Structure 1
Amino acid sequence: MKIITWNCNMAFRKKAEFILAEQPDILIVPECENQERLLFGPDTKQPTDIFWYGDNPHKGIGVFSYSDFKIKLFDIHNTDFKYVLPLSVYNDKIDLTVFAIWSQKPEKHDCYTEQVWNAVHFYSNLLDNKNVILAGDFNSNSIWDKPNRIYNHTNLVDYLKTKNILSTYHHFHNQTQGKEKDKTLFMHRKIDRPYHIDFCFVSLNLIEKLDNVEVGAYEKWTKHSDHKPLTVTLDI
């Protein structure tokens, strides 16, 4: 199974063919337009299932299946954390609990981690499920930690560890949070403004099934988006 998260920087319909060349089974796309605007070209592979959520029809979060997986929003979805979507992603062989994430800036300060921090505590029981995946644009990294904020990125990572949920990239490549060798965002597409803010966390039983974790190259993806895709391949 290949799961890819890629913030497409809007207008996904014009860019889908490029990410679909990577052959995802499940694709999570922050900043994606809604279904009514997703008019793919005749040569673009059509998804087998779609879930989209957002207030702005031009800029929400889309989750796409390109295999036999079906996608359903859990009834427990809390709209206070509207872009942290708890989804049941399932086929005849496996049930996955997938949180599709596009972290939003809060009104009262600039710490994007707050929304995800509050969401994972609200959905604490779901995190105890067997096959859990949290993937998307977290808009956060340990380099921006402020010690007086309990909801900083490092504390989020540590909390997920208490649920036996680990970052695929950091585990597979033996990287330290905040010191990543590969960057997923180049601010304003500038090569001298690199950050690692897109993540895919999975539960321990899925970590054991990791085949590969890859971040897209700057040269290949910058013409399409300021973000690079994060691709995780699992032996399931």
Structure 2
Amino acid sequence: MKLIVWNAAMRFRDKLGYLKSYQADILIIPECESPKKCGQTKLQVNQFLWFGEKVNKGIGIFTLNEHYKIELHPLYNKDFRYVIPLLVTGKRNFILFAVWSQNTKAKFESYIGQIYLALKYYDSLLKEPCVIAGDWNSNKNFDHIKRVGTHTDVVNLLKNKGIISIYHHYFNEEHGVESQHTHYFRKECARPFHIDYIFTSKDILSSLIQMEVGEHKDWIKLSDHMPLITDFDDMY
């Protein structure tokens, strides 16, 4: 199974081709326009689920072949609009949480606060094999900002459930001191951050073959975010 997370910074209909060579099974694309805006048939994808309030900017979840099928989990709670549980069936079955955390009217519940509250709500689903992936807009270095839950709180909550960040496992780095960056503020190389993540249950993590973070020079003209590209062994 190949899974890619990439905040495409809108106009994904013009950017999908840059991911085609990776032959991914599943894409999670924050800042993606709606199927109506994209022209779904022109994208030549298998499935395209989309959640958003504005046609130009929501979160899209794609399957690019028939190896996997995605559908909205019946427990989805619109109060956590952009922490979206999906049922994934195919060569392996698991729960996929597609994430795009944002500012909210209740500042204390913004960004990582959204994720913290959503994961508390979806506690029962965390007992199943799962992947939690997307643009979190969060890092341990932001823990000083007052939220209902900090980045560290979320990392520890998931760790207690046996759910680990692939990046930190694969590259053997600690949260807050990442050597590779997933976001460049205003596309400036001098203002890097690591705010996009893929967390997985240990049983899925054990089948990880490779992880790659896109490089600034290759992707910055397309987006201020770099893609996270993962490859898992389907035989387990």
SS at match of 2:123: coil
Are 2:22 and 1:22 equivalent residues in the alignment? yes
Distance 2:210 2:113 in 1: 30
Where does residue 151 of structure 2 map in the other structure?
153
Q: Does 2:74 correspond to 1:75? A: yes
Q: Does structure 1 residue 5 correspond to structure 2 residue 34?
A: no
Structure 1, unpaired ranges of 5+: none
8 Å Cα contact 1:165-1:204 kept in structure 2: yes
How is 1:94-105 mapped onto 2 (pairs within 5 angstroms)?
94-105=92-103
Task: In structure 1, give the amino acid aligned to 2:7.
Answer: N
In the superposition, the TM-score normalised over structure 1's length comes to: 0.94
Residues of 1 paired with 2:164 and 2:221: CA distance? 31
SS of corresponding position for 1:125: helix
Unaligned 5+ runs, structure 2? none
| Contact preservation (8 Å) 1:106, 1:114 | no
The residue number in structure 2 matching 1:143 is 141
Deviates more, 1:15-24 or 1:220-229: 15-24
Question: Deviation of residue 41 (structure 1)?
Answer: 9.2
Distance, in Å, in 1 between the alignment partners of 2:148 and 2:49 is 32
Residues 12, 38 of structure 1: 8 Å contact kept = yes
Deviations 1:45-91 (A, max 9, x none): x1111111111111000000012211100111111100111000111
Identical-pair percentage:
39
Q: Give 1:28-47 correspondences, 5 Å limit.
A: 28-39=28-39, 46-47=44-45
- 1:179 shift after superposition: 0.4
CA deviation string 1:120-168 (max 9, x = no partner): 0000000100x20000000000001028645000110000001100000
State which drifts further: 187-196 or 14-23: 14-23
Cα distance in 1 for residues equivalent to 2:78 and 2:114 = 11
User: 1:1-236 residue pairs with structure 2 within 5 A?
Assistant: 1-39=1-39, 46-68=44-66, 69-91=68-90, 93-109=91-107, 111-129=110-128, 131-146=129-144, 149=147, 151-236=149-234
The one-letter code matched in structure 2 to 1:11 is R
1:154-203 deviation digits (Å, cap 9, x = unpaired): 11000000110000000011010000000000011100010000000000
Length, aligned pairs only:
232
Cα RMSD (Å): 1.6
Scaled by the length of structure 2, what TM-score is found? 0.94
